[in-house]
Chain A
Amino acid sequence: MESINYQNFRIDAENICVDYNGKVALYDANLRLKPGQICGLVGMNGAGKTTFFNALTGFVNISKGKIRINGESVRSAQKDQTIAYVPQNEGIDSQFPISVWDVVMMGRYGSMNIFRTPRESDVQAVKDAIKRVDLTDHSSTPIGNLSGGQRKRTFLARAIAQRASIFLLDEPFSGVDIRTEKLISELFIQFKNEGKTILLSTHDMIHVREFCDLVLLINKTVVAYGETSEVFTPENITTTFGGISPDFLFGPES
């Protein structure tokens, strides 16, 4: 028997199932990602994309299967700040009385003392992260006064400040301006070169072709998984979206 070295995989999800009070949200899903890989997570609303993210971050418990992050459990990945989650803009309260600086500093909380007192290194990490997303002039701006793109960049900066090796991004391109889109795609290339692993969910088919080495098509379970050029076919997409033809999906509205 061939033995697999799990250490090689940043993310190794094997036959995972998630159910909410008996309702199955995701079943028999598999995913293996190595350092430096960017993978697109594509599926309809309710297909289990967010559930997949939640399982990887440990926000929901899996009822079956196994998840290894860098060869270790999800629990120890949490302790090591391995995974950063960048939420959808709709997923956060944009009226929360908090500044860009405060949000990015939250990326450091996991490695701070119980009072979350910033050390010199934390302050520096936050400064650098804010600079990388080009928000230095907006450090003290309340997030409620930001545009959608700036808010997205704020949460990206939080992930950078966290120094995570895995980035999970929920719809990173939805509702952002051209400038932010360009900046995010530049950051993706940098992250890739730094050996980070990126899993991003998206509705936009063009972005998948543009950025993703791999694609994971899901509809409650994995419909297809592999190299984007091989897997991202009209047939597979049609199956993923429950029989809707890709012509419709690639139409002017998508």
Chain B
Amino acid sequence: MHPERLAAIGDTTELERIRQFVEVKARSFGFSEPGIHKIALAVDEACSNLIRHSYQSDTSREFYVDIAEQDPNAFVIEISDTGTAFDPLNVPAPNLREYAAQHRKGGFGVHIIRMVMDAVEYLPADPAHPFNRLKLVKHLS
């Protein structure tokens, strides 16, 4: 039993349930509605990328969303997956006019995550840790 963990599969139908889980946790941590929205949005963006690009919507694959309350002022979400390592911190900021000219519909999620969270850390899987871990941190202000 891990009450702060949500297990999800590689299916975008999971996004609503993931947002609900994170919203409930962020609200009880003490965030007001704008903060709750930003946290849920960042987690949605990270999980959307994971489901569609890394897991290719393979519903047999699982990932986890954990809430780690290490510090009374810092809300920490950790997303663990077994896909190919992808460091979102290496993605450049999108150029809107270029994207429109190219009819590109993706590539914004990472930028949103970096803008709405206070800290983002990516730890690729290694022999000691079989999961890639994306840590998202938001401070209570």
Q: Specify whether A and B are partners.
A: no
